[in-house]
Amino acid sequence: MNKQEQEAVFTLCLMAAFADGDKDDLERAELRRIAAGLSAADFNAAAAYQRVLVSRPAVAEVAGALATREVRQLAYEMAVCVCDADGVQNAAEQRFLADLRTALQLAPAVTDPITRDADALAAAPAAGAAQALLPVEPAAASPADTDQMILNYAILNGALELLPDSLATLAIIPLQVKMVYRIGRQHGFELDRGHIKEFAATVGLGLTSQVVEGYARKLVSGLLGKLLGGVGRAVGKHATSSLVSFATTYALGHAARQYYAGGRRLSAVELRQLFGSLNAQAQTLYSRYAPEIERRAGSVNVRELVPLLRQ
């Protein structure tokens, strides 16, 4: 993928992020931060962000920069996953994806399986079974049990960011949702996806921006769409994405634990400060668990996540 194609794919991701017309201030700020942070890389992400917001380019114009079918298909996969990050697509997102499918000249036989798998992850219920992937905590979980459960989720999500499959980055979101659901339930709270989304936003974590950031880092590193000769080769080069996912999941889990164990009495300001402190702590722990994350990446099959998270 050349520089022009990288810019076009990232631009389409941003267009997908804004397609619903309902991005809140948090998501806009996070997307702007992501673009600014990548401006020193091989392509000007900040310029792409401004182009999407100010110039509002036509889908066909941006898609025209993608020459090969492989890159066009990858761009469509990423756009679908970005639209699905915060839940099942609304009508505006569906129109955007229909226009993109036409502009990319992709047949339904190619796009339908992509949409089906991504929608299955987006619609996964918070109470669904992650037990086939992660150890199950006892009904009356001890603090040590909960610590281990959070760590298991953080390790799995860190491993997913080492994989070249675009669906892997989207899978991080429902796994985080399930983790918070399980923590809330331990403390007597039956949470739905909407509540968990609000909790994540309160601590300063956007769902759509997480997916866009994961893709942006993979674009810069050249990981997306590649079949690597062993995951181990990718760990050093792509550790930043893995670290971010590990730390974010770890911090979200421990913030949820303190919040629900304390009867939901922490204020929004206190929650955001707590999440920031836990995120910094988690980043210092990453090197300790990096070998385990690498091993997990070598064994997980992203396509197997879809039916499991659907349950």
- The predicted-structure confidence for 42-78, as pLDDT tens digits, reads as follows 667 888 889 998 889 999 999 999 989 999 999 999 9
Is residue 311 pLDDT above 70, yes or no?
A: no
* Inside any domain, residue 135: no
Final residue belonging to a domain, choices 92, 122, 152: 122
Q: Looking at the structure, do residues 118 and 148 belong to the same domain, yes or no?
A: no
pLDDT band at 142 (very low <50, low <70, confident <90, very high): confident
Q: How far is the C-alpha of 62 from the C-alpha of 105, rounded, in Å?
A: 13
Residue 87: predicted pLDDT: 78
**Number of Cβ within a 10 Å radius of residue 223:** 20
CA-nearest of 242, 252, 238, 221 to 292 is 242
* Inside any domain, residue 133: no
For the chain, what is the domain count? Answer: 2
Residue 278: predicted pLDDT: 98
Quote the domain boundaries for residue 42.
3-122
Q: How far is the C-alpha of 56 from the C-alpha of 273, rounded, in Å?
A: 35
Q: What's the token pair of residue 34?
A: 């992501």
Final residue belonging to a domain, choices 55, 89, 122: 122
Buried b (16+ CB within 10 A) or exposed e, 110-134: bbeebbebbbbbbebebebebeebb
**Number of Cβ within a 10 Å radius of residue 288:** 8
Q: How far is the C-alpha of 292 from the C-alpha of 177, rounded, in Å?
A: 22
Of residues 166 and 270, which shows the higher confidence score?
270
* Inside any domain, residue 201: yes
Q: Where are the alpha helices (DSSP H) in the chain?
A: 3-18, 25-37, 45-50, 59-63, 69-84, 91-104, 108-122, 143-160, 166-186, 193-203, 207-221, 232-237, 239-261, 268-299, 302-310
Q: How far is the C-alpha of 8 from the C-alpha of 65, rounded, in Å?
A: 6
Q: How far is the C-alpha of 90 from the C-alpha of 55, rounded, in Å?
A: 24
Q: Looking at the structure, do residues 147 and 275 belong to the same domain, yes or no?
A: yes
pLDDT band at 228 (very low <50, low <70, confident <90, very high): very low
| Over residues 155-170, mean pLDDT | 88
**CATH code of the domain covering residue 69:** 1.10.3680.10
Surface-to-core class of residue 268, CB atoms within 10 Å of its CB (0-12 exposed, 13-18 middle, 19+ buried): exposed
Q: Which residues contact 24 (CB under 8 A, 6 or more apart)?
A: 201
Lowest mean pLDDT among 71-80, 202-211, 226-235, 236-245: 226-235
Q: Which residues contact 268 (CB under 8 A, 6 or more apart)?
A: 202
Q: Looking at the structure, do residues 101 and 151 belong to the same domain, yes or no?
A: no
Amino acid at 101: R
38 contacts 220 by C-beta, under 8 angstroms: yes
Instruction: Tell me the whole-structure pTM to 2 decimals.
Output: 0.86
Final residue belonging to a domain, choices 52, 87, 122: 122
Q: Looking at the structure, do residues 23 and 90 belong to the same domain, yes or no?
A: yes
* Inside any domain, residue 134: no
Q: Looking at the structure, do residues 212 and 86 belong to the same domain, yes or no?
A: no
CA-nearest of 238, 232, 237, 246 to 289 is 246
